[in-house]
Amino acid sequence: MSEHAVAISAVGAVCLLVVYGFWLWGYLRSDEEPAVQSGHAPFSFGVALAILAVAGVAAALVSDWFVNALDPAVKSLGISKAFTGIVIVGIAGNAVENVVGITLAARGHADLAISVVKNSVAQIAAFLFPVLVLVSLFFEHRLTFVLAPVYIGALALMAIAVWQITGDGEAVAFEGWALVALYIVLAVLTFYE
């Protein structure tokens, strides 16, 4: 690992947060008009922020409990940390998005299902993880973007596959199954890693 991994990761985190900020600004501005026309009174900014803060703290507490409860089982079964993070925590942590996505797709709203799942992943990749990288600078153990080459390849392959499959705005069942198959291959790879 490079001796500059922490500094490079910090700069990368700031860059991702800036890009996320521009995306969020455009997204919120494009969503203002439909919210007003929907007939529902939206939350005020302060109320929405308070609800988001409470939900964030509750999610952090539940996540901490989940990881602490999971750790002894993972150690006793001899499962790798990569498999635990990518498969077990990945599926459990995104259970709500997965159920919503499957429900929407079953009702014929595949475009909305894809949007829910993609935006959830984007929130973690472009906001949460960079924030955690920056916050970790104040602690002894620091998070970085340093990954094993096999995981960098898997991320690149998955990003290209998702872009190709969802880029045309159409949802075809076999494309969804192709993404599931790719995830299974990654899961098996991390299991034996």
Q: Are 12 and 19 a contacting pair, CB within 8 Å?
A: no
pLDDT recorded at residue 35 = 47
138 pLDDT exceeds 80?
A: yes
The confidence band for 9, taking pLDDT boundaries of 50, 70 and 90, is very high
Tell how far CA 42 is from the center of its chain.
Answer: 26
* Whole-number percent of the chain with pLDDT over 90: 12
The confidence band for 11, taking pLDDT boundaries of 50, 70 and 90, is very high
Name the residue with higher pLDDT: 133 or 38.
133
At CA 174, angle to CA 107 and CA 115, rounded to 5?
A: 50
The domain segmentation of the chain, as residue ranges, is 5-38+78-192
The Cβ-side half-sphere exposure at 11, using a 13 Å CA radius, reads 4
Flag whether the pTM goes above 0.85.
Answer: no
**75-134 residue pLDDT tens:** 888 888 888 888 888 888 778 888 888 888 888 887 788 778 778 777 888 888 899 899
Dihedral class, residue 39 (left if φ above 0, else alpha if ψ from -120 to 50, else beta):
left
- What is the largest distance, in Å, between two alpha-carbon atoms of the chain? 55
The confidence band for 33, taking pLDDT boundaries of 50, 70 and 90, is low
For residue 20, count other CB atoms closer than 10 A to its CB.
Answer: 19
pLDDT, the chain, mean: 82
In whole angstroms, give the CA distance from residue 27 to residue 22: 9
* Whole-number percent of the chain with pLDDT over 70: 92
Q: Amino acid letter at 86?
A: I
In whole angstroms, give the CA distance from residue 80 to residue 1: 20
23 pLDDT exceeds 60?
A: yes
Q: Are 189 and 87 a contacting pair, CB within 8 Å?
A: no
